[in-house]
Structure 1
Amino acid sequence: MSAKENKVHAFVRVKPTANFPEDMIKYGPDNKSIDIYIRRDIKKGVVNNKQTDWSFKLDGVLHNASQDSVYDAVARDLVSQALNGYNGTIMCYGQTGAGKTYTMTGATESYKHRGIIPRAIQQVFRAVEERIDQSITVRMSYLEIYNETLFDLLSTMPHDMSGDTHMAVVEYPQGVFVKGLSIYPASHEEDALNLLFEGETNRIIGEHTLNKNSSRSHCIFTIYIESHSRILSDAKYTASKMNLVDLAGSERVGKTGGETAIQSWWQISMVKLLR
């Protein structure tokens, strides 16, 4: 991989609104920067020289972007690299109600509204069909972190809110793993999508003032890929994985009525890591 590819990429997806605050948010002409301005109260003046404007450099600003264009900009190259043996991660971060789960998982009522995860699954299995000279094994896991407790969303056991799932984060020389997390094989795209939808039904949600069906947890859907040549008898196995992360909403407690909050300064940002 080139030095340009082997870095963290940051994108901002701005949620469409009926009245977009054009006087407060400005995009650069190349859609790779964004400036934010806070309206000043002339009567109050500026207190303690408080900062009222910010400027950020990014890899891309996605405004009024379709699910297709978001996937092309953020995920397509990462999935291609994963199929070639590189690990990758996409994290979606932002305030509750900003559309993180829509970006990552999407909606089921329309094919074009699918999010990054089902699109990544489709890309992986299309590559499996095309690479007839390779034997490729695909597996999935779905982990939820709620109140610092781990839950296996694909476990055959009932969803246990007590957290007694015998899972723990452990570190080996090969890397960090979640002990006790189930990993399921998927032979076809339909199998993988069924695993995704099964996990979605087990996610913890909680209503509050910003979002009636808000996810109150961090969720990590991981696709594991192992491949080797069908032609070369001494070919080595190549293994990689993609972590597709939908983080819990980050905002002040006073706005949501929730118990867990992280001060947010952004509406939605997606970070792509390759290593």
Structure 2
Amino acid sequence: MTARSSEVKVYVRTRPTACFAQELIEYLPDEQTVNVRHRRDSRKGVMNNQMSSWSFRLDGVLHNMSQEDVYQSVAHSVVLGALEGYNGTIMCFGQTGAGKTYTMTGATESYKQRGIIPRALQEVFHEVEQRVDHTFSVLLSFLEIYNETLVDLLASIKTGRAVQSGALTVVEEPGGGVSVKGLSLHPVHNEEEALNLLFEGEMNRIIGEHALNKNSSRSHCIFTIHIESRSRTLSGASYVTSKLNLVDLAGSERLSKTGSEGQVQREAMYINRSLSFLEQAIIALADRRREHVPFRQSKLTHALKDSLGGNCNTVLVANIYGEAAQIEETLSTLRFAARMKCVRTEPSINEHVDPALQVRRLHKEIQLLKQELSIHDTLANRAGAAYESLSETQVAEVQSQVQRYLAGTLDEITIVSVRQIQEVFTQFKKAVHEQEQKVKEQLSQKYSLVEKTENIMSSPVKGEEPVGAVGEVEVGFGLGLAVPSQRHTRPQSPNKSKGRKSKESSRMLHEPQVQQRALL
């Protein structure tokens, strides 16, 4: 299917707070535009070149919106597209403590506060139950990127260990996408099994505490739903696959505000560096004059290669802190969101063909066509029709029919297959060749007879006069007449003899053909 180009959809969501900076952040009534004002730094003097206001136009503003409304606005269409065969990616970006994990996973205290991932799992299995004309297989994977190391959060289910690290690598696929080699895939059959895997992976995530967030994510996490769909009604060997990546990025943070030290500080440095590389990749993708995009600068950008600029429906949720003290981080997040909106992707259905099933289907189709031809020939009273090579008995039957047709005892030759037509022409060719040989033999015999006759005629008997020829036949030689002394005559009367002679002369003049036959 032909890919259709589309822009990345970008939404901004504000964390609820009692100290919302209304004088600095303004949401326009169109629910798509955000205006930000920033106070001038008086320490730089009265005259300076600092901008004091910015305007960002995005696809939607999610301000004071419930988890259900956020899911319907952001993820509903992407999840349905994944069931049709389109890859999808939903990611949350923003500073630490802005509500990314809450948007993606939700709170465990209340069912209504579920995030995008639990709601997406619920909708996937609801659609699987409704679409009875297709068979679906759903598999899950949970990847963590911690300090530039890939970790399988669901490895403990198979290995019995808490976390398996260091054995995963990002590899390029032939179609231009990427996959993580060594990442475990877990089949699930209902929503309950899927949620259990989600909670298992969440328990294995690495979190830390600092001044802005008591449960700060210290790693990037990618929860992927792999879907394969096959039609029950169509007998074709084609099927569709898709990946739905639900990405919870770690938050950017300033060490001066978080007060991080030791291991937490080291984690923050890795997080900020990977997010910086992510922003560089987005800038390169937004600039259409750039040919090279630095996806391999970090594990995060490499793992998200096909989600950012490839065959994927991509949605970004920019989470911001709506307080005056965090206005610089808010501006940074909105700038990233504006750049992301300039990125274009080319989503298309991932349709595949099963080679083994295709071969079996073609063999079965050939057998069905042969059976159909056989049934058709039977109904048309064409007994003995075949579509394989003719046997010796069938060849002999065709030869007999051709000979009878040439002899005139058979009016027509019944044709029942293409191979019989070829054999009929072969027998006709043989018959023509045999007839040519017979004609040549007859002509050679006649030429020999002519030469022998001419030799006899050219050597007369001693004492006899040469015999004159009175006629020639079609074969090219003449017959002589007996001399009068040797002719057998019967005595007749003078009158009758004269009349009979004139009569015979007239008959011989007007009937030469009869004369020739008589002479023969």
**Could you state the TM-score of these two structures normalised by the residue count of structure 2?**
0.50
User: Quick one: higher RCO (CA 8 Å, sep 6+), 1 or 2?
Assistant: 1
For 1:99 and 1:19, locate their aligned partners in 2 and report how far apart those are by CA, in whole Å. Answer: 16
Per-residue deviation, residues 154-203 of structure 1 (Å, max 9, x unmatched):
00242348x43x11011120321100000100100101011100000000
TM alignment of 1:1-275, pairs within 5 A: 6-40=6-40, 45-46=45-46, 48-156=48-156, 157=159, 158-160=161-163, 163-164=165-166, 166-174=167-175, 175-256=177-258, 257=260, 258-259=265-266, 260-261=268-269, 262=272, 264=329, 265-266=332-333, 275=347
Distance change in 2, residues 1:47/1:4 (3 Å): farther
Q: Distance in 2 between matches of 1:67 and 1:2?
A: 35
- Contact kept, 8 Å, 1:215 with 1:248, in 2: the verdict is yes
| Partners of 1:6 and 1:86 in 2: CA distance | 13
Q: Secondary structure at the match of 2:238?
A: coil
Letter in 2 for 1:159: A
Q: Partners of 2:155 and 2:43 in 1: how far apart?
A: 58
2-structure distance, mates of 1:34, 1:78: 24
Change (3 A) 1:269 1:116: farther
Q: What is the Cα deviation at residue 54 of structure 1?
A: 1.5
- What displacement does 1:42 show? 5.4
Q: Alpha-carbon deviation of 1:231? A: 1.2
* 1:254 to partner: Cα distance: 2.0
Q: Does structure 2 conserve the Cα–Cα contact (< 8 Å) formed by 1:78 and 1:274? A: no
Q: Which runs of 5+ in 2 are unaligned?
A: 277-328, 348-520
Residues 187 and 5 (structure 1), Cα distance of their counterparts in 2 relative to 1, 3 Å cut: farther
Deviation at 1:266, TM superposition (A): 2.6
SS in 2 for 1:266: helix
**8 Å CA contact 1:143, 1:221 repeated in 2:** yes
Equivalent-residue separation in structure 2 for 1:125 and 1:233 (angstroms)? 24
Q: Deviations over 1:25-72 (max 9, x none)?
A: 011220101011112355764564122222111000010110011001
Determine helix, strand or coil for the equivalent of 1:237. Answer: strand
- Cα distance in 2, alignment partners of residues 89 and 17 from structure 1: 28
Q: Distance in 2 between matches of 1:125 and 1:160?
A: 28
TM-score normalised by length of structure 1: 0.92
- Aligned residue pairs: how many? 273
In 2, Cα distance between the equivalents of 1:24 and 1:213?
28
More strand by share: 1
Given residue 127 of structure 1, which amino acid in structure 2 is its aligned partner? Answer: E
- What secondary structure does 1:255 align onto? helix
Q: Which runs of 5+ in 1 are unaligned?
A: none
Aligned AA for 1:102?
Y
Contact 1:88/1:274 (8 A) holds in 2: no
8 Å contact from structure 1 (residues 71, 116) kept in 2: yes
Structure with the larger helix share: 2
Residue aligning to 2:405: none
CA distance in 2, matches of 1:151, 1:201: 13
SS across alignment from 1:144: strand
Larger Rg: 2
Identity rate, percent: 59
Give the Å deviation of 1:236: 1.4
Inter-partner Cα distance in structure 2 for 1:117 and 1:47:
49
Change in CA separation of 1:133 and 1:17 when aligned onto 2, cut-off 3 Å: same
Cα deviations across residues 212-271 of structure 1 (Å, max 9, x unaligned)?
Answer: 110110000000110011111215111001100000011222222133253842389697
Contact 1:143 1:220 (8 Å CA) reproduced: yes
